[in-house]
Amino acid sequence: MADPERFTGFAVEEPSHLWGGTSIWRHINRWLMRNGHAWIEIDSQAPSAIGKIKSADPERYKNMTFIPGPISDHFADNIPFVTEITKESLRAAYDEFKKEWWPATLQSPEIIAAASYALRSGQLGLRADRVVLSGLSQTGGVTRRFITHSSHLRLPDGELPFEGFIPCQSGGEALPDFPGSAIIELLGESEFQSVRLSCGVSGQMNETKHRRPDSEGFRLYEVAGMAHRESRYASQVDLKRWSVADLKGAEWSTFANSFIYHAVFDLMEKWTKDPLFTPPPSAILKTVGDSDEIVRDLHGNALGGVRTIHTDVPLARLVAATPKGRPNWYWAIYRQRAGQVLRECIDAGFLLDADAETLRRETVEKVSF
């Protein structure tokens, strides 16, 4: 965080990705900084700790040791990618890939819990009173696995290491409750295997088995139109990496993933602070039965789930050619509808006022007809 004097006591703990990277930080850094919360990166997974951190400065980290195993480059070079394959075989290939993760990260849960204690005890220059564990994609899986496999871990005083968990963009079997802690699971439309199949890259989802009823400590939010990662506010590293892609006339999405993350983390902050606070009920996409085939409108947009201005007030729409309306007519109608949807998103709890103003300036005001 920028100013320790403004620290609220709320901290987000994020494990570094198996082959490096902190995607949660990229999505929530503006929300963290403007609200006085803290964030910490934990290199709890041996492949990235040894393959990235230690190799970058061997002398400084010469005493850092882990149980021997494959390093980050091994995993980055072996992500299953195949085309012309069924959902079942693609999922099976990724499940085999995932089986390599956990034996390579055996010490991760204890390190993650120890980092929470370091935050609370003041050893890092701050003294947190609420710590939430979160990850995205592979580290979303790490967060889920902590919930399912490490609920026995405690701080030295016997208390739970985390007040909340936010696993993002991962999925899998339905999560159990974690008594004493809150869970918000966040998934975008692109995590569904029915969406991923055409590009030949799988994920951690298993149909819709992650879905479960709400409880006093669990919510699930599935977001229509949201991709795995945000390209609206891409880093220079991302832009360089993506520059080799042939988009064939398409453009990178301007969907504001980070604004959804801001709202969800804000809900968690309130939920862990106020015992009387109740977050919005789960919102799930409409699917065909128990399958992951998403029900869509006549334009191909997903129905149900968390709604945004990007899906509900599209920038492109077919209109009658005759009679042709004046541009100012379309502008007035669009502006009115956009304002309504922004207010609906705020009232639903999935858009913060500051981000709504940004969308108004960057999107609504710049539309031309």
Q: What does the mean pLDDT of the chain come to? A: 89
Asked if residue 342 has pLDDT above 90, the reply is yes
Joined together, the tokens standing for residue 49 give: 């700790």
Stretch 42-68: mean pLDDT = 88
* Domain spans, the chain: 4-306, 311-369
Tell me the pLDDT tens digit for each residue of 271-288: 999 999 999 999 999 999
DSSP string, 133-200: EEEETHHHHHHHHHHHH-TT---TTS--S-SEEEEES---SPPPP-TTSEEEEEEEGGGSHHHHGGGT
Give the percent of the chain with pLDDT over 90: 58
Tell me the pLDDT tens digit for each residue of 215-261: 999 999 999 999 998 989 988 888 888 888 888 888 888 999 999 99
Tell me the pLDDT tens digit for each residue of 130-184: 999 999 999 999 999 999 999 999 999 999 999 999 999 999 999 999 999 999 9
The domain made up of 4-306 has a fold known as Rossmann fold (3.40.50)
Tell me the pLDDT tens digit for each residue of 101-115: 788 888 999 999 999
Structural contact between residues 349 and 320, judged by C-beta atoms closer than 8 angstroms: no
pLDDT for the residue 320? 52
Stretch 54-76: mean pLDDT = 81
